[in-house]
Amino acid sequence: MGDSLRALLDSTPLGAGNAPYIESLYEQFLADPASVEAKWRDYFVALTGGARNETAHGPVRDALAQRAREPRAAVTAPAAASAASDASAKQGAVSRLIQVYANRGHLIADIDPLGLMRRPAPVVLDLDYFGLSEADLDSEFYTGSRSEAIAKRMKLRDIIAQLRHIYCGTIGAEFAHVSDTSERLWLRNEFQDGRVLLRFSAEERKTLLRELTSAEGLELYLATKYPAQKRFSLEGGDSLIPMLDDLIQQGGQRGVEEIVIGMAHRGRLNVLVNVVGKSPQALFSEFEGRYDANHMQGSGDVKYHKGFSTDIRTPGGNVH
């Protein structure tokens, strides 16, 4: 018989299938060496090098199993750990509050200077909704802001005041639904940095008033003079006129040479007169059925389908 085969046969009792039995013998040996056969006693002595300081595994396992079956007593966390956990929870609540203001602040924006609208504030903007209270107003929290215009850490009352100033002022915007992340973050940053809260000079205010008055005046005149005719009024959307005019002026400053407006029916007549520069006299003639045959754009065409082309002077040159 070869040496390798003899070694295999000699080691067969140590196979994996006999592990529980051998472990039981070993623990019996640890408790009382004389209680096991001499062959196993000699093997275990050689295995441990004669040392007797090893602990049997069985009693340890039994103790752990017994402890696992026993009901666990409530453990009271140290005061410092409890306070840290509470502070972390409140910081999370403040972070959610900031996000909700960005998403819902437009619902209570100050867009009614006459105070005619009664809009209850959404409950999701209440402190109670987030587990906060007035007792937390003087506590400082991180704002998570990446804008230099907003401090990284502020008192809760100052955070709320800042949020109301940014998202609930005279301009309210709903942009949480924008799926493109870069576009949504750009809108949020524009609000946080205050770039949407413009401050106009006295001359700019006069220009805005003049343009708004012209827009409203034209609609009032047409409604009074031609009450039965279809005109697709701009009433309620008068701010479109100064907005388009500013768009053209800024475009000219940036080198734009030509602008094409694919205008809708609503407000088209007002844009033709107060933005593009069509003569009011020509518009009134169309209402009265007096057309210039040289400028007809096709038989059966109606006044709110017609276009107009002109050059508008801007600081950067004419824009066609």
Q: Report how far residue 212's alpha carbon sits from residue 235's, in angstroms, rounded to the nearest whole number.
A: 11
Low-confidence ranges of the chain (pLDDT < 70): 1-18, 48-58, 60, 63, 71-83, 291-304
Within a domain: 94: yes
CA distances from 157 to 132, 134, 164, 211, 277 (A): 12, 9, 11, 40, 50
Q: Which amino acid does the sequence have at 241?
A: I
Within a domain: 76: no
Among candidate residues 174, 164, 188, the one with its CA nearest the CA of residue 110: 164
Same domain, 207 and 129: no
Same domain, 141 and 246: no
Same domain, 158 and 207: no
Same domain, 125 and 167: yes
Same domain, 303 and 257: yes
At residue 190, the pLDDT reads 86
Within a domain: 73: no
At residue 300, the pLDDT reads 47
Residue bearing tokens 């409950």: 123
307: containing domain: 202-319
Handedness of CA 134, 139, 142, 143 (dihedral sign): positive
166, 192, 218 — which closes off a domain?
192
Q: What is the pLDDT of residues 115-173, one digit of tens each?
A: 888 888 888 888 888 889 899 999 999 988 877 778 888 999 999 999 999 888 888 88
At residue 242, the pLDDT reads 93
Q: What torsion, rounded to 10 degrees, do the Cα atoms 138, 140, 143, 148 define? A: 100
Within a domain: 72: no
At residue 214, the pLDDT reads 94
Same domain, 151 and 230: no
At residue 230, the pLDDT reads 84
Q: Report how far residue 248's alpha carbon sits from residue 256's, in angstroms, rounded to the nearest whole number.
A: 8
**Crossing angle between the packed helical segments 280-287 and 202-225, to the nearest 10 degrees:** 20
Within a domain: 61: yes
Same domain, 26 and 133: no
Within a domain: 71: no
Same domain, 59 and 94: no
Domain count, the chain: 3
Same domain, 170 and 215: no
Within a domain: 175: yes
146, 167, 192 — which closes off a domain?
192
Same domain, 59 and 98: no
pTM: 0.54
Q: Report how far residue 22's alpha carbon sits from residue 171's, in angstroms, rounded to the nearest whole number.
A: 81
Same domain, 262 and 162: no
Q: What is the CATH number of the domain that holds 150?
A: 1.10.287.1150
Same domain, 219 and 178: no
Contact 314, 249 (CB under 8 A): yes
Within a domain: 143: yes
Among candidate residues 288, 287, 307, the one with its CA nearest the CA of residue 296: 307
